[in-house]
Amino acid sequence: MPRKIVAANWKMNNDEYSSKKLTFDFLKYISESNNTKVLKILSVPFPFLNTVTKMCEGVDSVFVSAQNSSDYSEGAYTGEVSAKMLSSISVPFSLVGHSERREIFGESDDIVFAKTRLLLENNITPIFCCGEPINIRKDNTHLSFVEEQLNLSVFKLKSSEFKKIIIAYEPVWAIGTGETASENDISEMHRHIRSLIKSKYSSSLSNDISILYGGSLKPENAKQIFDIKNVDGGLIGGASLNAKDFIDIVNSIN
């Protein structure tokens, strides 16, 4: 059975003080009601990984994630942060292939796959992001588009590797726009991804992989979305910058 997961993505927001305060406020709410059946992940900017990790030590089911890592293992790549570096400070998760990395920084499926392999080699769980832009959705080719993203990256993994990843489906047109995919849209894509995993690997593996939804998730719509079959949690952007909103989303999972 897939693990229930709610992951925050702070993106490039907050300085050190604000990051500490946001973490403190979140942990305060956790201390009042911590559903340990739900894995809570905080994807924070590189400079604050150690700080937030130390603040979360000893808190059940709360972990820290990087937002990105390099597709190079080491070398003269100024400004890059490698999976090996993240592993050395015990970072257990990292986002990979987020639409903003693909669109703004031109990351191809090959680059996303290289990053995924390096994360796995360094015992870091990749949270693999996939999703279609608005023109693909309007052309009604969204299912084949996401299938191609999977085929050109994580579906190249052996089953022993693939079982270690988390998938996050984020329709690009619903990220930070206030637009949310309909229940039918979400259900269709999550069902499609799970069926693709079954065809590529096995029924048992398909049934064990967590598939998250992301895209303007907020307290008002979280329960409705989390109740959709094949949705195992969420990747939360803007709403995760408010501790009360984020804990309300976490507590929306049954």
Q: What is the predicted pLDDT for the residue at 181?
A: 86
Q: Please determine, for residue 33, whether its predicted confidence score (pLDDT) is greater than 90.
A: no
What is the SS3 assignment for 19? helix
pLDDT tens, position by position, 64-78: 999 999 999 999 999
pLDDT tens, position by position, 211-227: 999 988 999 999 999 99
Q: Which residues are catalytic?
A: 98, 170
Distances (CA, A) of 142 to 111, 162, 198: 21, 23, 19
Phi, psi of 235 (to 5 degrees): -110, 115
Domain ranges of the chain: 4-68+126-250
Average pLDDT over residues 79-101: 97
pLDDT tens, position by position, 5-21: 999 999 999 999 999 99
Average pLDDT over residues 99-120: 97
Least confident of 6-15, 115-124, 134-143, 227-236: 134-143
Mean pLDDT of the chain: 96
Q: What is the predicted pLDDT for the residue at 70?
A: 98
Phi, psi of 240 (to 5 degrees): -80, -10
Higher pLDDT, 29 or 175: 29
Percent pLDDT > 90 in the chain is 91
* DSSP conformation letters of 33-63: ---TTEEEEEE--GGGHHHHHHHHTT-TTEE
Rg (CA), the chain: 17
Q: What is the predicted pLDDT for the residue at 102?
A: 96
d(CA 153, CA 162): 11
Average pLDDT over residues 42-55: 98
Counting every residue written for the chain, the total comes to: 254
Q: Which CATH class is domain 4-68+126-250?
A: alpha beta
d(CA 159, CA 197): 10
pLDDT tens, position by position, 164-183: 999 999 999 887 777 778 99
Q: What is the predicted pLDDT for the residue at 215?
A: 87
pTM of this prediction? Answer: 0.96
d(CA 114, CA 82): 12
Cα 18–chain centre separation: 22
